[in-house]
Amino acid sequence: MAHIKKLNFLKNHKDLNDEKFGMVAVPTFSDKMDKDLKALFESQNKTGKVGELAFEIDSNSRIVYYGLGHSSKKTPENFRRAAGEIITYAINNKYDEVAVECPITDEGEYYCQAFSEGLILSSYRFLNYLTDERGKYHLKSITMVGSCNEDAAKKGAIIASAVCDSRDLGNHPGNIATPSKLANFAKEVGKKGGMKVTIFDREEFTKMGMGSFAGVAQGTNEPPKFIIMEYNGGKKEEKPVILVGKGLTFDTGGVSLKPGLNMDQMKFDMCGSAVVFGAMNAIASLKPKMNVVAIVPSTHNMLGGSAIRPGDILTAYNGKTIEVLNTDAEGRLILADALSYASKHYDPEYILDFATLTGAVVITLGHIATGLMSNNETLVENIKVSSDNTGEHVWQLPLWDEYCDQVKSDVADVKNLGSPGQAGTIAGAAFLKAFVGKDIPWAHFDVAGTSYKVENRSYIQKNSASGQVIRLVLDLLGA
Ligand code: BES
Ligand code: MN
Ligand code: ZN
């Protein structure tokens, strides 16, 4: 993994003369340029739009001007994107020490946070397995210069760094990012944040009655893990928020085998759990006063002599029976036990789950927005506010009773498919709902489209796991 983990700060502009900075980025709003600067941008066919860079004519100059668009249209997300263009340029041109003049004047601290998020997020490259030149990472430091709010900028850096760690979990392939690796990551984060981490192995969770998770895991030799992290930063009587994540470390489809084309991308099928781990990772550093529990069922979905078959009936942790009509709809099977466990053992304020659950959500919303389904409109409204803050789009789909009827089975309580050819993403949520305790506010995030293959965001490397929605969760929690 390569990314910058924290920012340096420099209050005095005079220190910018320090030779060590190979590049110094200087901000400008398109409507606030003086004549010369405007001419410089124009000579390079630019106007100072968000993230546009203009270079001094003198090739010895270290100064690069970056545009922030019109000052009346500034948003935190635009600051993130501008930061992303600066660092992308610095990496592509092999700079090692970069100074960035802080663009913040009176916009408030969230702008500082967002700008520093952009700097760190865009510094990430996944290079672990490149042993030649391409694997070299030259960037050593990013220094913020000027009057930015240091606390807010540091917070942004902590959060963004946690997002980068999670991208890494997603990018490592299935032979490396195994359930055991996820469990070890949880233990490390737990140690850092003073959390209690409990891991149930196959034998244990099978004995406990997690027949649905065990059913999916029975086809693989790679040891599956049921991972629980408990962070108690709040008062004892305060209800915890529970974050549940799909930790499917490789999805072949099982006996209902997936086609070969692009199957390698199913290493990303644990990106829901990466959201959960990312939030816990940031929480471990930020230490907010609240209680948060993370639950991640993690396994490969493989095929072979001991794998489950279409038609098999499994019994979940809450006692409900499930007819497995397609072994490729495995995410909902492992989440059924995680949601049942969360509902039985805690009295949560609310539960959020994150999963690369359906290909259908990519058809519906593309790689642009996360599918959101919930049993509680207040929770949805709060999620939308956080989504606007963090620039991570969510779009709500309905979860009416008619959809829930579509996952009823003739031979068991529920089946893991909806009606053929209809509302596949909602069917996934309708299935999950059967395993959420009555009266518990709950929201389901289908991140199959947004956790990788994201394009045209300067601070997300193409072909990498995106780490999207972690920032939204932290904003929602008020961490
Ligand atoms: N992990 C997949 C969903 C997925 C598909 C994520 C494409 C990212 C890109 C999930 O386990 C799956 O296979 N879902 C099936 C469900 C179907 C059998 C009802 C799907 O979407 O095809
Ligand atoms: Mn699948
Ligand atoms: Zn899957």
- Alpha carbons 247 and 300: distance in angstroms, whole number: 9
Answer whether 328 contacts ligand 1 (Cβ < 6 A). Answer: yes
Comma-separated ranges of CATH 3.40.630.10 domains in the chain: 172-477
Tell me, in angstroms, the distance from the centre of ligand 3 to residue 430's CA: 17
At the second CATH level, the architecture of 172-477 is: 3-Layer(aba) Sandwich (3.40)
State the catalytic residues. Answer: 258, 332
Task: Please report, for residues 155, 287, 383, 433, the alpha-carbon distance to residue 457 in angstroms, rounded to integers and kept in the order given.
Answer: 21, 29, 21, 33
Structure tokens at 392: 């991570």
Contact between 117 and 142 under an 8 Å Cβ cutoff? The reply is no
Q: CB of 47 within 8 A of CB of 41?
A: yes
The answer to whether 76 and 110 are in contact (CB under 8 A) is yes
Candidates 217, 457, 250; CA nearest to 356 is 250
Q: Is the CB of 310 under 6 A from ligand 1?
A: no
CA pair distance 279, 392, nearest whole angstrom: 15
- Consecutive H or E run containing 338: helix 331-345
Instruction: Determine if ligand 1 sits within 6 Å of the CB of residue 279.
Output: no
Q: 8-162: which CATH topology?
A: Leucine Aminopeptidase, subunit E; domain 1 (3.40.220)
Question: Helix (H, G, I), strand (E, B), or coil: what is residue 410?
Answer: coil
> In this structure, which residue's CA is closest to atom 22 in ligand 1?
359
Q: pTM score, two decimals? A: 0.98
3-state helix, strand, coil in the chain (%, to 5): 40, 20, 40
SS3 of 241, please?
strand
326 lines ligand 1 (CB under 6 A): yes
User: Is the distance from CB of 431 to CB of 414 less than 8 angstroms?
Assistant: yes
d(CA 212, CA 279): 26
Q: Given its phi and psi angles, is residue 307 left (phi above 0), alpha (psi -120 to 50 degrees) or beta?
A: beta
Whether ligand 1 lies within 6 angstroms of the CB of 171 is answered as no
In the reported structure, the alpha carbon of residue 331 is separated from the centroid of ligand 2 by a whole-number distance in angstroms of: 6
DSSP 73: G
Across the beta sheet with 63-67, the strand order is 8-10, 141-145, 97-101, 23-28, 63-67, 53-55
Cα–Cα distance for residue pair 325/417, rounded to 1 Å: 6
Cα separation, 328 vs 307, in Å, equals 12
Looking at ligand 1, which residue's alpha carbon is closest to its atom 14?
358
pLDDT along the chain (479 residues), means of 10: 93 79 96 97 98 91 96 96 98 96 85 97 98 97 92 97 98 98 99 98 98 99 99 98 99 98 98 99 98 99 98 99 99 99 98 99 98 98 98 98 98 98 98 98 99 97 96 98
Task: Pick from 252, 258, 328 the residue to mutate for probing ligand 1's pocket: most ligand atoms within 8 Å of its CB.
Answer: 328
- How far is the centre of ligand 3, averaged over its atoms, from the C-alpha of 137 (Å)? 33
Q: What is the pLDDT of residue 302?
A: 98
Which residues make up the CATH 3.40.220.10 domain(s) of the chain?
8-162
Tokens of 232: 């108690």
Q: How far away, in angstroms, is 124 Cα from ligand 3 center?
A: 26
Count of other CB atoms within 10 angstroms of residue 2: 17
Gap between the Cα atoms of 196 and 229, Å rounded: 6
